Structure 1
Amino acid sequence: MSNANPTLLKIRKCLLLVAFSFVVNISFAQTEKQIHIIKDEYRSSKLGAFTNDLKNNFTKENNTLLQAAKTNGWKLTERLADGNFSELTSIGDDGTPLYYSTFSTELNTATRANALHDNGLLDLGINGENMLVGVWDAGSVLTNHKEFDNRVQTLDQSEIVDSHATRVTGILVAAGLDKKSKGVAYKAKAVSHDWRRDKIEVAEMAANGLLLSNHSYGIMSNRVPDWYFGSYIQVSRDWDKIMYNAPYYLMVTAAGNSQRSKDNEAPIFGSASNGYDLMLGFATSKNGVTVAAADIETNDQGQLLRASVASYSSFGPVDDGRIKPDIAAYGTNIYTTGIENDNRYETANGTSVATPGVTGSMLLIQEYHEQMEGSFMRAATLKGLVLHSADDVDAPGPDYKMGWGVINSKSAVEVIANKGFSSMISEETLLEGETKTYTVLANEQEALSASISWTDPATGAVNSGTLNDISAALVNDLDIKITKDGKTFLPWKLNAAKADVAAVNGDNRVDPFEKIDIQNAKGEYTITVTHKNSLDQGPQNFSIIVTGIALTDCVLSTPEDIELTTSDETGVTFNWTANTDALFQVEYKKKGADQWNVETTFDSFISLQNLVEGTDYFLRVKTYCSENISSEYSNEFHFTFNGAETELVDYMEYETLTLEVQFSIFPNPVQTSMTINGDVSEDAMYKIVSLNGTVVRSGKAEQKQIYIADLTAGLYVLTLADLEGSKSVKFYKS
């Protein structure tokens, strides 16, 4: 069942031809109006000036690079023994040659993105259509691969058709002609570039509305001094500057595959063999998303059963203690597109192939938000939502191996769908010296969780040679806390000096994302957002996300006791049992018609006028507790309009029949499994539906035993149905 009502969706899926200064025209995802809205929040002059600086410096730096390579005998490019490709791209402040390398070693239920697809668990039809993603990699994509169907273009002068870039792009947008290769956003478009001018090209595309780009590469870990590891360096700041000046744009990058390399002989924690302190280059940027690889198992309902960090995935932290990587995704034995010919497929492992799983999922989440809310999210909101809704792994809170946990696209879109009912997503601005407060009521069905996320200014300390420099890169230090009855709840934080110790609650002074979780929350709480010191560069935008709250008294139940109460020569009036603080949607149509007429009301009755005498009509009603959250429809009622003589036809032949057999469940509340008490026919099926209308479990009911230990705590509805009809009962999972 879908929570998204097609009559309420604000779909903005027009195509626009956007001309970039360095490429031919390409059809882009956003409308002119949407791009205008995005640009209104951009610091266009600063972004343009920075882009010009990058361009002016590129030729000069490239000439210096070539001369230094010739003088020192450095290789410009190299195909490594493990199949990865490396290229000399710049020289560090200390004279170290910096080589970019791809991150592969020798799909997609693990991100739960398939729950959004056509016929997915949520049945949303979200597949990336008319969305665009940027791919920067070692070379260009094999654009004529049959899986891409003219949806992938090369936008620079790259002369290398690269297998790594083709694999990454396949994970993002492959159509799924071979079902095993189906991409996360399988109807989206992608633009391909090599990495030589990545900052320049991204800055120009971001200025024209690009929302997401994938970077499954980074600095080679075996060719830099130890002080580079975990450092916030110039390249880190450059990318933060792009994201700060283009606040709807988000960079997604791979953490790297150096866990067992022992390349950092002086990590900020432990020894070289422990795998900590291996983040390099733009993977340490404050505002981007850095992706770890994990071995993951989920069930057919999208619930995480098991997860552990992959044996190759690089660990954080950043030297100032920031949480990197940010998120984890599946990265092992992924079947995707190859380059031997346009029918070639390959299997790959690594953070390189975990990263497009996250990028593609974020693209779908943006698409869903635009459909539901009529706008895209700021990058900080998208990042915050993904971190907020991730599946926690092992000890509560984040860690330096998998960040905030395993990405869960299904949970992320449910937070959007529940907005106004049990969740809050708000993009705010904090002024100098301002305090913002929010009063919320716990819904007592799930943990109360609140987080803030912001795109931090790029100014601040840049390391140029200090080993394990703990100077904070964070510029604007925002803070969130929750209070109730004199008790204060603080956000999660980690300590780089104790990188293997579980997260604790306290004052987080380094991360531009903070989250608080309160288990078994009851009653009213106050959320407070403030900042320390002065705000650099003026007011600071931030996004707040809260889940586990009750924003309405509405009860998500299907309207009952629907009656035809009055009729006259022009119309009829129906009544039903009222639901506190609910909006009701009434749909009616002539017999044989394809489309329903839709009316809404906050009353427990509706009057339908201008009906045609002698005509058969059908009517049904559902409850809305927010714009996006609705109950199932009532039974369909059949009446023939005959003016004052109108009566309901015997609707039993049209409605879903009620099972004659009575049944109950034991125990209730349920902790691990429940038993159905009563006679159940051999063809009876069951389904368990959450309060937001999602079917979370289904199967045959004949065995009478249903295992639910892996469901989250909360109220559910169990429905039994067979050829005779259906019957439902509520239960609580403790």
Structure 2
Amino acid sequence: MKVFITIFFILSTPLLSFAQSEYKLILLKDKTSSNYSIDTPSEYLSEKSIQRRKKQNIPINETDLPVSNYYVEEIKETGVEIDYTSKWLNAVLVKGNDEQIELIRNLDFVGNIASLTSKANDYFQSPNELEFNGSNSVTTTELQNKLLGIPQMHQDGFKGEGINIAVFDAGFIHRDWNSYFGHININDEYNFVGKNTDINLYHHHGYSVLSTIASYNKNEMIGTAYNANFSLYITEDVSNETRLEELYWLFAAERADSAGVDIINSSLGYFTFDNSSEDYFQDELNGKTSWISLAANFASTKGMLVVTSAGNEGNKNWEKIIFPADSPFVLSVGAIKSDMDLAAFSSIGPTADNRIKPDVVALGQLATVLSSSSNPVLSNGTSYSAPQIAGLAAGLWQRQPELTNLELIELIKSLGNNKHTPNNSYGWGLPTYDSLITSIESPLKNINVYPTLVEGKQISIHNIPQNVNDLTCNIYNIEGKNIGIHHFKSPNEIVTVNIPNKRQVYFLQIIAGNAQKTIRIFKK
């Protein structure tokens, strides 16, 4: 499945002569020269972004601060071309020759320099898309929506109002916009490949993906969350497959965060590239090795829900999920057929560290989407099952705005038809809105942690249910690494878990049988 990505364009210098030029990611030591402060977030975050953090008790921290302008200007003085900056990684993406890169290496504020063959965990502890079938028969979204309980969700008044969804993709080529999208509110559009605002270029894939969420034509196409607000970004260079695209995804996520996006839909994925030295391996499907998975982890810490395709490799040599579907903090989506069997192409798990993936499934074989000619057609791919789930998530979040992004993931998994026996083909199964109405409350619902903003080394877990056995608590850091596990000795104990000294975000995953609850904590 081909990957699609987005970036925040900062500035560029004239390209002089780069006979031996190559891209490098300059990793900076600090933000001491930043012009911004965590006390004045409105200078670099939208009000919607700030409110998202407040609602989920996420503090503004140094990773929210833009990269130092002074450092950027000093790097520019070496003569390199500057493409983008990353506030989350405190990094600058440049293109330059060996001499220029060496000048940058000698700057006292530069920590490391990463090449495209580097991997995220070298520096941070922490696709083969199926083509359209070409069916020209008139079809509708009725089946795929019914499978998810969307008609009832819409009837209850939850059509995505007030939820902001970003679609990262390769292009939005279309013939007719108004017949299906004339109603929707577009907050932002940007072509990060061309560095302009023209998104009707390159490929129709993004238009098709968007149609499953946002289209509305009562007789043919009804998207799962057609009244949401949307940001549309061209992120994938369809002529190349390189690690640059992973960094573009990172920059896109940062832009989405600053703009106040709630949900990112990424019908994309990576594992092989034009340059085989950049390829990933299956033992690296651990949620922390690839740049794109690291970016997805960061996006989660900012309170955004990341929904991503599991991949279309199930009937190919790779078979497994692709990056960033390996992240423990994203909702990865596989594909089923109308008879509820798994689509042969749908990528499977587990991850390299033996976590169940995908998380859920939706109709992905013979799903109804809009083609580039703006006609409803039947098409295949987890590219089209993922956005259906993104729309379901928007309606659920509208219905229950008090949920954090991680609680929303748990809710969606709890609505799956395979929740009692999750596996590495279907995950927790097909979630339905209808199940929410009739579902029994999770036995872990009332568990809480104190404090969630940790100054010392310890926290306490309270309200452990008395009728649940075999409870465990896994502790993960921002890179998705399991750094500790606690086995509960008795159901009513107040448990103390040691937290490392390193200042960052940690995730506590509490497990009892097939029930899970993930709680985010912050180390001061």
* CA deviation profile, 1:522-575 (whole Å, cap 9, x unmatched): xxx6487664673753674658799999xxxxxxxxxxxxxxxxxxxxxxxxxx
1:146 is matched with 179
Aligned equivalents of 1:146, 1:453: Cα separation in 2: 50
Which position in structure 2 is the counterpart of 1:368?
399
Q: Once the 2 structures are TM-superposed, how far is the Cα of residue 183 of structure 1 from its aligned partner?
A: 0.8
CA distance in 1, matches of 2:323, 2:495: 31
CA contact (8 A) 1:139 1:194 kept: yes
C-alpha separation between the residues in 2 aligned to 1:399 and 1:548?
11
1-structure distance, mates of 2:217, 2:206: 18
Tell whether the 8 Å contact from 2:418 to 2:427 is kept in structure 1 after alignment: no
The answer for the alignment partner of 1:183 in structure 2 is 223
Match of 2:153 in 1: 116
Residue 47 (structure 2) pairs with residue 47 (structure 1): no
For 2:250 and 2:364, the matched residues in 1 are separated by 26
Task: Flag the 1:130–1:237 CA change in 2: closer, same or farther, 3 A.
Answer: closer
Residue equivalent to 2:503: 537
Measure how far apart 1:354 and its partner are. Answer: 0.6
Gaps of 5+ in 2: 1-7, 11-44, 68-85, 99-114, 120-126, 134-143, 191-195, 237-247, 516-524
1:128 aligns with 2:194: no
Q: How many residues align?
A: 394
Mapping of 1:255-404 within 5 angstroms? 255-262=310-317, 264=318, 275=319, 278-297=320-339, 307-341=340-374, 344-370=375-401, 375=402, 377-392=403-418, 396-404=420-428
- Bigger Rg, which one: 1
Residues 676-691 of structure 1: matches in 2 within 5 Å?
none
Deviations 1:670-704 (A, max 9, x none): xxxxxxxxxxxxxxxxxxxxxxxxxxxxxxxxxxx
**Residues 10-21 of structure 1 aligned to structure 2 (within 5 Å):** none
The one-letter code matched in structure 1 to 2:298 is I
Given residue 93 of structure 1, which amino acid in structure 2 is its aligned partner?
S
> Higher relative contact order at CA 8 Å, sep ≥6: structure 1 or structure 2?
2
- Distance across 1 between alignment mates of 2:446 and 2:387: 25
**Residue in 1 aligned with 2:3?**
none
CA contact (8 A) 2:326 2:357 kept: yes
Distance 2:335 2:410 in 1: 19
Once the two structures are overlaid, the 10-residue window that deviates more, 282-291 or 32-41, is 32-41
Q: Which amino acid aligns with 1:139?
A: G
Rounded to whole Å, the distance in 2 between the matches of 1:412 and 1:535 is 39
Compute the displacement of 1:356 (Å): 0.6
Cα deviation, residue 110, structure 1:
1.5
1:358 to 1:141, Cα distance in 2 relative to 1, 3 A = farther
Q: Structure 1 residues 170 and 453, CA, compared in 2 at 3 Å: closer, same or farther?
A: farther
Aligned to 2:136: none
Shift of 1:177: 2.7
State the shift of 1:403 in Å.
1.7
How much has 1:392 moved relative to structure 2? 1.1
Matched residue, 2:16: none
Q: Give the Å deviation of 1:433.
A: 3.4
List per-residue Cα deviations over 1:333-376 (Å, max 9, x = no partner). Answer: 122222214xx222211111110111111111100002xxxx3x
1: CA distance between counterparts of 2:154 and 2:267?
24
Q: 1:252: which partner in 2?
A: 307
CA offsets 1:129-188 (integer angstroms, 9 cap, x no match): 232211001113648242112415351135516321111111011123334x21111222
Structure 1 residues 458, 423: closer, same or farther in 2, change over 3 A? Answer: closer
Structure 1 consecutive aligned stretches of length 4 or more whose deviation exceeds 6 Å = 28-33, 448-455, 543-549
Instruction: Show the 5 A alignment for 1:149-188.
Output: 149-151=182-184, 153=186, 155-156=189-190, 157=196, 158-159=198-199, 160=201, 162-179=203-220, 181-188=221-228
Bigger helix fraction: 2
- How has the CA–CA distance of structure 1 residues 458 and 144 changed in structure 2, closer, same or farther, with 3 Å as cutoff? same
Partner of 2:235: 195
Distance 1:92 1:149 in 2: 43
Distance 1:139 1:170, change over 3 A: same
Alpha-carbon distance between aligned partners in 2 of 1:258 and 1:239, rounded to the nearest angstrom: 22
State the alpha-carbon separation in 2 of the partners of residues 244 and 32 from structure 1: 13
Partner residue in 2 for 1:457: 477
2:481 to 445, 454, 474: 474
Residue 57 (structure 1) shift: 3.2
Change in CA separation of 1:534 and 1:40 when aligned onto 2, cut-off 3 Å = closer
CA distance in 2, matches of 1:138, 1:129: 26
Secondary structure, counterpart of 2:463 in structure 1:
strand
Cα distance change on mapping 1:36 and 1:436 into 2, 3 Å: closer
Amino acid in the other structure paired with 1:210 = V
Aligned AA (2:152)? A
1:390 positional shift: 1.7
Map of 1:561 onto structure 2: none
Over the residues paired in the alignment, what is the CA RMSD in angstroms?
A: 4.1
Identity of aligned residues (%): 17
Counterpart of 1:60, as a letter, is: K
Question: Which amino acid letter does the alignment assign opposite residue 310 of structure 2?
Answer: A
Scaled by the length of structure 2, what TM-score is found?
0.64
In structure 2, relative to structure 1, the CA distance for the partners of 1:333 and 1:230 (3 Å cut) is farther
Map 1:56-135 onto structure 2 (within 5 A). 57-60=92-95, 91-93=116-118, 102=129, 106=133, 107-118=144-155, 124-135=156-167
C-alpha separation between the residues in 2 aligned to 1:450 and 1:186? 42
Structure 1 residue 31: Cα displacement? 6.2
Letter paired with 2:172: S
Q: Is the 8 A contact 1:102 1:138 kept in 2?
A: no
Q: Is the strand fraction higher in 1 or 2?
A: 1
Question: Which region of structure 1 is more displaced relative to structure 2, 535-544 or 380-389?
Answer: 535-544
After superposition, the Cα gap between the structure-2 partners of 1:284 and 1:439, relative to the gap in structure 1 and judged at 3 Å, is closer
Residues 541 and 314 of structure 1, relative CA distance in 2, 3 Å threshold: closer
Q: 1:441-469 deviations in whole A, cap 9, x for unaligned?
A: 76xxxxx799999994334xxxxxxxxxx
Give the 3 Å change call, closer, same or farther, for CA 538–191 of structure 1 in structure 2: closer
| Alignment partners' CA distance in 1, 2:154 and 2:180 | 17
Distance change >3 Å, CA 251–CA 167, structure 1 → 2 = same
Within 2, Cα distance between the matches of 1:398 and 1:137?
30
Question: For the structure 1 residues 29 and 125, does the alpha-carbon distance in structure 2 shift closer, same or farther, using more than 3 Å as the test?
Answer: farther
CA deviation profile, 1:465-486 (whole Å, cap 9, x unmatched): xxxxxxxx52444557585xxx
Distance 1:209 1:543 in 2: 26
Unaligned runs of 5+ in 1: 1-19, 23-27, 65-89, 95-99, 119-123, 265-274, 298-306, 443-447, 460-472, 484-524, 550-734
Distance 1:531 1:105 in 2: 51
Local SS of the residue matching 1:116: helix
> Could you tell me which residue of structure 1 aligns to residue 140 of structure 2?
none
Structure 2 vs 1, CA of residues 111 and 194 (structure 1 numbering), >3 Å: closer, same or farther?
Answer: same
- AA partner of residue 206 (structure 2): A
Q: TM-score, normalised by structure 1?
A: 0.47
- Contact kept, 8 Å, 2:359 with 2:427, in 1: the verdict is yes
Q: Could you tell me whether the CA contact under 8 Å between 1:450 and 1:547 is conserved in 2?
A: yes
1:412 CA displacement? 3.9
Q: What is residue 434 of structure 1 aligned with on the other side?
A: 459
In the alignment, the residues of structure 2 paired with residue 527 and residue 146 of structure 1 have an alpha-carbon distance, to the nearest angstrom, of 59
Q: How far apart in 1 are the matches of 2:495 and 2:413?
A: 18
Letter aligned with residue 285 of structure 1: S
Hey, what's the Cα distance between the residues in 1 that align with 2:470 and 2:215?
36
Shift of 1:125: 1.4
Query: What is the CA–CA distance in structure 1 between the aligned matches of 2:511 and 2:435, rounded to whole Å?
Result: 13
